[in-house]
Protein backbone atom coordinates (compact mmCIF):
# COMPACT_ATOMS: atom_id res chain seq x y z
CA UNK A 1 0.00 0.00 0.00
CA UNK A 2 1.44 3.38 -0.89
CA UNK A 3 1.80 5.25 2.36
CA UNK A 4 1.97 8.67 0.78
CA UNK A 5 -1.07 8.82 -1.48
CA UNK A 6 -4.29 10.06 -0.03
CA UNK A 7 -7.64 9.65 -1.68
CA UNK A 8 -9.72 12.17 0.18
CA UNK A 9 -12.87 10.23 -0.51
CA UNK A 10 -11.51 7.01 0.82
CA UNK A 11 -8.99 7.25 3.60
CA UNK A 12 -8.55 3.50 3.59
CA UNK A 13 -6.76 4.08 0.26
CA UNK A 14 -8.51 1.24 -1.51
CA UNK A 15 -5.89 -1.12 -2.77
CA UNK A 16 -6.67 -4.14 -4.83
CA UNK A 17 -4.56 -7.09 -3.83
CA UNK A 18 -5.35 -8.65 -7.21
CA UNK A 19 -3.69 -6.10 -9.40
CA UNK A 20 -1.61 -4.27 -6.82
CA UNK A 21 -2.71 -0.87 -8.08
CA UNK A 22 -3.56 2.04 -5.81
CA UNK A 23 -6.88 3.77 -6.44
CA UNK A 24 -5.08 6.57 -8.31
CA UNK A 25 -3.08 4.06 -10.36
CA UNK A 26 -6.35 2.35 -11.28
CA UNK A 27 -7.93 5.67 -12.17
CA UNK A 28 -5.04 6.61 -14.50
CA UNK A 29 -5.13 3.14 -16.04
CA UNK A 30 -8.85 3.29 -16.78
CA UNK A 31 -9.08 6.98 -17.77
CA UNK A 32 -9.26 7.85 -21.44
CA UNK A 33 -9.39 11.63 -21.27
CA UNK A 34 -6.66 13.03 -19.03
CA UNK A 35 -5.72 16.68 -18.70
CA UNK A 36 -2.53 17.75 -16.91
CA UNK A 37 -1.58 21.14 -15.55
CA UNK A 38 2.17 21.54 -15.08
CA UNK A 39 4.12 24.08 -13.04
CA UNK A 40 7.58 24.93 -11.73
CA UNK A 41 7.61 22.13 -9.14
CA UNK A 42 7.94 19.65 -12.00
CA UNK A 43 11.35 21.06 -12.92
CA UNK A 44 12.63 21.71 -9.40
CA UNK A 45 14.53 18.45 -9.13
CA UNK A 46 16.17 19.14 -12.49
CA UNK A 47 17.91 21.94 -10.60
CA UNK A 48 15.86 24.79 -12.06
CA UNK A 49 14.44 27.25 -9.61
CA UNK A 50 11.88 29.89 -10.39
CA UNK A 51 13.92 32.86 -11.58
CA UNK A 52 11.31 35.48 -11.09
CA UNK A 53 10.48 35.23 -7.41
CA UNK A 54 10.06 38.54 -5.67
CA UNK A 55 13.29 40.04 -4.44
CA UNK A 56 15.70 37.91 -6.47
CA UNK A 57 18.43 39.74 -8.32
CA UNK A 58 20.10 39.14 -11.67
CA UNK A 59 23.32 41.14 -11.47
CA UNK A 60 22.06 44.42 -9.99
CA UNK A 61 18.55 44.18 -11.43
CA UNK A 62 15.33 42.83 -9.98
CA UNK A 63 14.94 39.58 -11.89
CA UNK A 64 11.25 40.17 -12.41
CA UNK A 65 11.91 43.54 -14.03
CA UNK A 66 13.97 41.86 -16.78
CA UNK A 67 10.97 39.85 -17.95
CA UNK A 68 9.06 42.80 -19.34
CA UNK A 69 8.47 44.46 -22.68
CA UNK A 70 9.64 47.79 -21.25
CA UNK A 71 13.00 46.29 -20.22
CA UNK A 72 13.47 44.95 -23.77
CA UNK A 73 12.61 48.38 -25.20
CA UNK A 74 15.09 50.00 -22.80
CA UNK A 75 17.99 47.59 -23.30
CA UNK A 76 17.39 44.65 -25.67
CA UNK A 77 21.03 43.55 -25.42
CA UNK A 78 20.87 43.18 -21.64
CA UNK A 79 17.50 41.39 -21.75
CA UNK A 80 18.84 39.01 -24.42
CA UNK A 81 21.90 38.31 -22.24
CA UNK A 82 19.57 37.63 -19.29
CA UNK A 83 17.58 35.16 -21.40
CA UNK A 84 20.66 33.60 -22.93
CA UNK A 85 21.76 32.91 -19.34
CA UNK A 86 18.38 31.30 -18.62
CA UNK A 87 18.54 29.32 -21.87
CA UNK A 88 22.02 28.08 -21.05
CA UNK A 89 20.96 26.92 -17.57
CA UNK A 90 17.74 25.32 -18.80
CA UNK A 91 19.55 23.50 -21.61
CA UNK A 92 22.20 22.26 -19.17
CA UNK A 93 19.47 20.84 -16.90
CA UNK A 94 18.36 17.27 -17.61
CA UNK A 95 14.66 16.42 -17.88
CA UNK A 96 13.78 14.39 -14.78
CA UNK A 97 11.67 11.21 -14.40
CA UNK A 98 8.57 13.38 -13.86
CA UNK A 99 8.95 14.87 -17.36
CA UNK A 100 9.52 11.40 -18.83
CA UNK A 101 6.49 9.99 -17.00
CA UNK A 102 4.26 12.68 -18.52
CA UNK A 103 5.78 12.09 -21.97
CA UNK A 104 5.03 8.38 -21.52
CA UNK A 105 1.42 9.13 -20.56
CA UNK A 106 1.08 11.35 -23.63
CA UNK A 107 2.38 8.49 -25.75
CA UNK A 108 0.17 5.87 -24.11
CA UNK A 109 -3.11 7.78 -23.93
CA UNK A 110 -4.59 9.01 -27.18
CA UNK A 111 -6.65 11.67 -25.44
CA UNK A 112 -4.04 13.15 -23.11
CA UNK A 113 -3.29 16.86 -23.08
CA UNK A 114 -0.94 18.90 -20.90
CA UNK A 115 -1.01 22.64 -20.22
CA UNK A 116 2.45 23.73 -19.10
CA UNK A 117 3.30 26.94 -17.29
CA UNK A 118 7.01 26.13 -17.60
CA UNK A 119 9.23 27.84 -20.16
CA UNK A 120 12.29 25.64 -19.60
CA UNK A 121 11.69 23.26 -22.51
CA UNK A 122 12.27 20.17 -20.34
CA UNK A 123 8.96 18.51 -21.29
CA UNK A 124 9.81 19.02 -24.96
CA UNK A 125 13.30 17.58 -24.44
CA UNK A 126 11.81 14.57 -22.61
CA UNK A 127 10.05 13.73 -25.86
CA UNK A 128 6.57 14.89 -24.84
CA UNK A 129 4.43 14.82 -28.01
CA UNK A 130 4.19 18.51 -28.95
CA UNK A 131 0.64 18.05 -30.25
CA UNK A 132 -0.33 17.14 -26.67
CA UNK A 133 1.47 20.02 -24.95
CA UNK A 134 0.40 23.66 -24.66
CA UNK A 135 3.26 25.80 -23.26
CA UNK A 136 1.01 28.72 -22.34
CA UNK A 137 3.89 30.84 -21.02
CA UNK A 138 6.01 30.23 -24.11
CA UNK A 139 9.35 28.45 -24.29
CA UNK A 140 13.01 29.37 -23.95
CA UNK A 141 13.61 27.09 -26.92
CA UNK A 142 11.76 29.47 -29.26
CA UNK A 143 12.06 33.06 -30.43
CA UNK A 144 9.35 35.38 -31.69
CA UNK A 145 9.37 38.93 -33.09
CA UNK A 146 9.21 42.08 -30.98
CA UNK A 147 7.31 43.92 -33.71
CA UNK A 148 3.59 44.09 -32.81
CA UNK A 149 1.48 42.13 -35.27
CA UNK A 150 4.35 40.04 -36.65
CA UNK A 151 3.59 36.33 -36.26
CA UNK A 152 7.16 35.04 -36.63
CA UNK A 153 8.01 32.03 -34.42
CA UNK A 154 11.25 30.10 -34.62
CA UNK A 155 12.13 26.81 -32.94
CA UNK A 156 15.75 27.15 -31.87
CA UNK A 157 15.87 24.03 -29.76
CA UNK A 158 18.97 23.57 -27.67
CA UNK A 159 21.40 25.42 -29.96
CA UNK A 160 23.65 27.82 -28.08
CA UNK A 161 24.38 30.64 -28.46
CA UNK A 162 21.23 31.97 -30.12
CA UNK A 163 23.52 34.16 -32.25
CA UNK A 164 27.34 34.38 -31.97
CA UNK A 165 27.24 37.79 -30.26
CA UNK A 166 25.29 36.24 -27.38
CA UNK A 167 28.12 33.89 -26.37
CA UNK A 168 28.39 34.20 -22.61
CA UNK A 169 31.68 34.48 -20.72
CA UNK A 170 32.80 31.74 -18.34
CA UNK A 171 31.37 32.04 -14.85
CA UNK A 172 27.87 32.83 -13.64
CA UNK A 173 26.74 36.13 -15.10
CA UNK A 174 24.08 36.40 -12.41
CA UNK A 175 27.02 37.81 -10.47
CA UNK A 176 27.59 41.43 -11.52
CA UNK A 177 31.34 40.94 -10.96
CA UNK A 178 31.45 38.75 -14.08
CA UNK A 179 31.91 41.16 -16.95
CA UNK A 180 29.44 40.99 -19.83
CA UNK A 181 30.73 41.24 -23.39
CA UNK A 182 29.95 44.38 -25.37
CA UNK A 183 27.19 43.60 -27.82
CA UNK A 184 25.69 46.04 -30.32
CA UNK A 185 21.96 46.03 -31.07
CA UNK A 186 22.89 45.32 -34.70
CA UNK A 187 24.38 42.01 -33.55
CA UNK A 188 21.04 40.80 -32.13
CA UNK A 189 18.93 38.52 -34.34
CA UNK A 190 16.61 40.36 -36.73
CA UNK A 191 13.20 38.93 -37.63
CA UNK A 192 13.48 37.24 -41.05
CA UNK A 193 9.75 37.61 -41.65
CA UNK A 194 9.07 41.33 -41.30
CA UNK A 195 12.78 42.21 -41.60
CA UNK A 196 12.11 45.07 -39.20
CA UNK A 197 11.62 43.86 -35.63
CA UNK A 198 14.22 42.26 -33.41
CA UNK A 199 13.73 38.64 -32.53
CA UNK A 200 12.97 38.22 -28.84
CA UNK A 201 12.78 35.25 -26.48
CA UNK A 202 9.57 33.30 -27.17
CA UNK A 203 8.27 33.65 -23.64
CA UNK A 204 5.36 35.55 -22.14
CA UNK A 205 6.51 38.59 -20.21
CA UNK A 206 4.78 40.15 -17.22
CA UNK A 207 1.81 42.17 -18.39
CA UNK A 208 1.51 40.34 -21.73
CA UNK A 209 -1.39 38.24 -22.99
CA UNK A 210 -0.95 34.48 -23.06
CA UNK A 211 -0.46 33.13 -26.59
CA UNK A 212 -3.85 32.74 -28.22
CA UNK A 213 -2.68 29.73 -30.21
CA UNK A 214 -2.14 27.62 -27.09
CA UNK A 215 -5.28 28.86 -25.32
CA UNK A 216 -7.29 27.93 -28.42
CA UNK A 217 -5.68 24.49 -28.67
CA UNK A 218 -6.56 23.89 -25.02
CA UNK A 219 -10.14 25.07 -25.55
CA UNK A 220 -10.46 22.81 -28.58
CA UNK A 221 -9.22 19.80 -26.61
CA UNK A 222 -11.65 20.51 -23.77
CA UNK A 223 -14.53 20.87 -26.23
CA UNK A 224 -13.56 17.75 -28.19
CA UNK A 225 -13.73 15.31 -25.28
CA UNK A 226 -17.08 14.08 -23.95
CA UNK A 227 -15.75 14.26 -20.41
CA UNK A 228 -12.51 14.78 -18.53
CA UNK A 229 -11.88 11.63 -16.53
CA UNK A 230 -8.90 12.91 -14.58
CA UNK A 231 -6.98 16.14 -14.09
CA UNK A 232 -3.36 15.89 -12.92
CA UNK A 233 -2.14 19.06 -11.20
CA UNK A 234 1.64 18.73 -11.10
CA UNK A 235 4.02 21.04 -9.26
CA UNK A 236 1.85 24.12 -9.33
CA UNK A 237 -0.18 25.95 -6.74
CA UNK A 238 -2.71 26.55 -9.55
CA UNK A 239 -3.76 29.76 -7.85
CA UNK A 240 -3.20 32.13 -10.75
CA UNK A 241 -5.19 32.63 -13.93
CA UNK A 242 -5.69 30.63 -16.05
CA UNK A 243 -4.54 27.58 -14.06
CA UNK A 244 -7.32 27.86 -11.50
CA UNK A 245 -9.83 28.28 -14.32
CA UNK A 246 -8.75 24.98 -15.91
CA UNK A 247 -9.35 23.12 -12.64
CA UNK A 248 -12.87 24.53 -12.62
CA UNK A 249 -13.47 23.61 -16.27
CA UNK A 250 -12.12 20.07 -15.84
CA UNK A 251 -14.34 19.52 -12.79
CA UNK A 252 -17.32 20.82 -14.77
CA UNK A 253 -16.64 18.01 -17.24
CA UNK A 254 -16.62 15.42 -14.47
CA UNK A 255 -12.93 15.25 -13.61
CA UNK A 256 -11.50 13.93 -10.40
CA UNK A 257 -8.33 15.80 -9.58
CA UNK A 258 -4.98 14.42 -8.43
CA UNK A 259 -2.63 16.99 -6.93
CA UNK A 260 1.11 16.22 -6.99
CA UNK A 261 2.69 18.91 -4.85
CA UNK A 262 4.87 19.49 -1.83
CA UNK A 263 2.03 20.99 0.16
CA UNK A 264 -1.68 20.37 0.24
CA UNK A 265 -3.95 23.29 -0.58
CA UNK A 266 -7.16 22.68 1.33
CA UNK A 267 -9.00 25.38 -0.61
CA UNK A 268 -8.60 23.54 -3.92
CA UNK A 269 -9.02 19.93 -2.86
CA UNK A 270 -12.47 18.37 -2.84
CA UNK A 271 -13.84 15.02 -1.77
CA UNK A 272 -12.82 12.34 -4.25
CA UNK A 273 -9.55 14.06 -5.16
CA UNK A 274 -6.10 12.70 -4.49
CA UNK A 275 -3.18 14.49 -2.92
CA UNK A 276 0.27 13.01 -3.49
CA UNK A 277 2.88 14.85 -1.41
CA UNK A 278 6.57 14.98 -2.23
CA UNK A 279 8.92 15.61 -5.12
CA UNK A 280 6.93 14.99 -8.30
CA UNK A 281 10.07 13.62 -9.98
CA UNK A 282 9.69 10.68 -7.59
CA UNK A 283 5.95 10.36 -6.99
CA UNK A 284 4.64 10.80 -10.53
CA UNK A 285 6.83 8.16 -12.27
CA UNK A 286 5.98 5.63 -9.57
CA UNK A 287 2.24 6.02 -10.09
CA UNK A 288 2.51 6.22 -13.89
CA UNK A 289 4.61 3.05 -13.97
CA UNK A 290 2.00 1.38 -11.78
CA UNK A 291 -0.87 2.58 -13.99
CA UNK A 292 0.80 1.49 -17.22
CA UNK A 293 1.93 -1.86 -15.79
CA UNK A 294 5.59 -0.99 -16.12
CA UNK A 295 8.06 -2.42 -13.62
CA UNK A 296 8.66 -0.01 -10.75
CA UNK A 297 12.35 -0.27 -11.57
CA UNK A 298 11.44 1.49 -14.82
CA UNK A 299 9.97 4.47 -12.97
CA UNK A 300 13.27 6.34 -13.06
CA UNK A 301 13.98 5.55 -16.68
CA UNK A 302 10.58 5.98 -18.32
ZN1 LIG B 1 8.85 40.17 -37.43
CATH number for 294: 3.40.50.1220
Interface TM-score (ipTM) > 0.90 = yes
Q: Are residues 4 and 105 in the same domain?
A: yes
Average pLDDT over residues 106-126: 96
Average pLDDT over residues 7-26: 58
Percentage of residues in the chain having pLDDT higher than 70:
89
Compute, in angstroms, the gap from residue 217 CA to the centroid of ligand 1: 23
With 80 as the cut, is the pLDDT of residue 272 above it? yes
Compute, in angstroms, the gap from residue 148 CA to the centroid of ligand 1: 8
61 — pLDDT class (breaks 50, 70, 90): very high
Q: Are residues 175 and 114 in the same domain?
A: no
31 — pLDDT class (breaks 50, 70, 90): very high
Compute, in angstroms, the gap from residue 147 CA to the centroid of ligand 1: 5
With 80 as the cut, is the pLDDT of residue 132 above it? yes
Q: Are residues 166 and 102 in the same domain?
A: no
Q: Are residues 282 and 254 in the same domain?
A: yes
- Which of 156, 178, 208 terminates a domain? The answer is 208
With 80 as the cut, is the pLDDT of residue 19 above it? no
Average pLDDT over residues 28-42: 96
Average pLDDT over residues 102-106: 97
| pLDDT given at position 17 | 37
Its pTM stands at 0.89
Cα(294)–Cα(269) distance, rounded to whole angstroms? 29
> Residue 22 phi/psi, 5° resolution?
-70, 170
Please tell me the total count of domains within the chain: 2
Q: Are residues 71 and 106 in the same domain?
A: no
**Dihedral angle at the C-alpha atoms of 134, 221, 210, 79, nearest 10 degrees?**
10
194 marked among binding-site residues: yes
| Residue 84 lies in domain | 50-92+139-208
Stretch among 80-89, 97-106, 259-268, 283-292 having the lowest mean pLDDT: 259-268
Q: What is the largest CA-CA distance in the chain?
A: 67
| pLDDT given at position 302 | 60
Cα(44)–Cα(95) distance, rounded to whole angstroms? 10
Compute, in angstroms, the gap from residue 125 CA to the centroid of ligand 1: 26
| pLDDT given at position 266 | 84
The conformation of residue 49, written as its DSSP 8-state character, comes to P
Compute, in angstroms, the gap from residue 190 CA to the centroid of ligand 1: 8
- Which of 190, 208, 226 terminates a domain? The answer is 208
145 marked among binding-site residues: yes
- Which of 208, 237, 265 terminates a domain? The answer is 208
Q: Is the model more confident about 30 or about 54?
A: 30
27 marked among binding-site residues: no
Average pLDDT over residues 93-111: 97
Q: Are residues 61 and 31 in the same domain?
A: no
Q: Are residues 73 and 190 in the same domain?
A: yes
Q: Are residues 79 and 104 in the same domain?
A: no
Q: Are residues 38 and 143 in the same domain?
A: no
Q: Are residues 158 and 266 in the same domain?
A: no
Q: Which residues are catalytic?
A: 137
**pLDDT tens-digit readout, 138-148:** 999 999 999 99
Q: Which residues contact 130 (CB under 8 A, 6 or more apart)?
A: 124
Cis peptide before 242 (omega within 30 of 0): yes
Side-chain-side CA neighbours of 198 within 13 Å: the count stands at: 17
The sign one gets for the Cα dihedral 126, 284, 117, 166 is: negative
Q: Are residues 13 and 120 in the same domain?
A: yes
Average pLDDT over residues 142-156: 93
Q: Are residues 129 and 278 in the same domain?
A: yes
> Among 28-32, 241-245, 267-271, which range has the highest average pLDDT?
28-32
Q: Output the domain CATH number for residue 58.
A: 3.30.1600.10
Amino acid sequence: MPSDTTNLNDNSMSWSTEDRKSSLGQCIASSQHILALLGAGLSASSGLQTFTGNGTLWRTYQTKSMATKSAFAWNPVLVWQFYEDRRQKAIAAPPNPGHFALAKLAESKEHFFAISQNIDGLSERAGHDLSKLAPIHGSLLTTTCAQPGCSFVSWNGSALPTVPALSLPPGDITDAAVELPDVRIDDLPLCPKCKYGLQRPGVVWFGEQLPQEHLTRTDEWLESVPSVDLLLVVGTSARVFPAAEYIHRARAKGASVAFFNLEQDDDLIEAGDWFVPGDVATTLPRIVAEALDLPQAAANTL
